[in-house]
Structure 1
Amino acid sequence: MTSTALRRALTEPGPPPLPERAAALLEELSAPPRLAAHLRAVHAAACLLTDAVALGYPEPAVDREAVLFGAAVHDIGKTVHVGELSAPGSAHEQAGYELLLAHGIEERLARFARTHADWRRPGIGIEDLLVSVADKVWRGKRVDDLERLLVDRLTGPGREPWRVFVHLDDVLQAIAAGADERLAFQNRHPVAG
């Protein structure tokens, strides 16, 4: 049964709603309301980022649906490791990946639970980098080496890296400008249900 606090975190006005499949999974797991609010905030940043990337860089092709779902579930392992909602920790990453697989989520989407904090691992795709960047910039945080990796992936034939950097920097500054509103939205919701 979904708590009133969780329902409010999933539906109240604010960041865009999560994909239905992600929201249903959070309800099924009785996720902490703060987690649902956090996922909506990161998902909102991912929406803005993927739209800007798709508009400015049609190549390489980006799986927008995967990025948005990944942003909506990247921290789902915190339903198991609730202490990591308010304290550092990485146990939620593998736990989230396994939890998603156990609930029938295909690996191509479940992977974001593991890759969102480990963007240096081999085989990281542009979608993984976009989720990782969204997970930082939603609160106004910028990570140089992560952003450089994304610039490298977006720089294709005929594109100058410095132009890609300037464009991405403008996009991320615009997203970061909404950080206070997203943080306030997240913090309105309790850690516990």
Structure 2
Amino acid sequence: MIYSQSKYINNYSDIIAGVDEAGRGALAGPVYAAAVILDKRFPIEGLNDSKKLSPKKREDLSIIIKQKSICWSVSSINVSDIDNLNILQATLLAMKNAVLKLQVLPDIVLIDGNQSPNLKYKVSTIVKGDSTIPAISAASIIAKTERDKEMLNLHYQYPCYLLNKHKGYGTKEHIILLKKYGPCKEHRKSFSPVKTFISMHLG
């Protein structure tokens, strides 16, 4: 069930879980989601949409979030399941799993964007919530930093694609390398650019 934003986040007693994803638009690698319940007694300075922060700032904040939050969790969905489910459903599943892994039950779940997984909790979807709601900003940072770590691991397995640089997104450099080497098993075969290069290399 979806509830309005303002009805719940203004109640200081509410236990609020913020949720966001990372990697939804990438051509390679898993999609990640994080859920964070911040401790209102220990506000964290500098929280923002992870895309607006430098890698160093994200890393520094991720450590602080893990130390100061009541609890946090991360979930990921692999490339095979992304291709089978489609990226929207895979993202929603990652979000749902992240919430279910929380060690403290939230009163309300605030999710970045305009779509929500099916949860037993009160839920509010907030467009650009990662820039305006601290708990969602924290989830954005955790999801991004944890996914970046995984993309670095995948870079060591598939160094020719330079996944450590573009993190699987469809940059000009990544497209050039895809064209040269063809997709690996960590590329999302249901995504149009990857499909094109599969056909080229099969032909």
Same fold (TM over 0.5): no
Normalised TM-score (structure 1): 0.28
Which has the bigger relative contact order, CA under 8 A and spacing at least 6?
Answer: 2
Q: Whose strand fraction is larger, Structure 1's or Structure 2's?
A: 2
Q: Whose helix fraction is larger, Structure 1's or Structure 2's?
A: 1
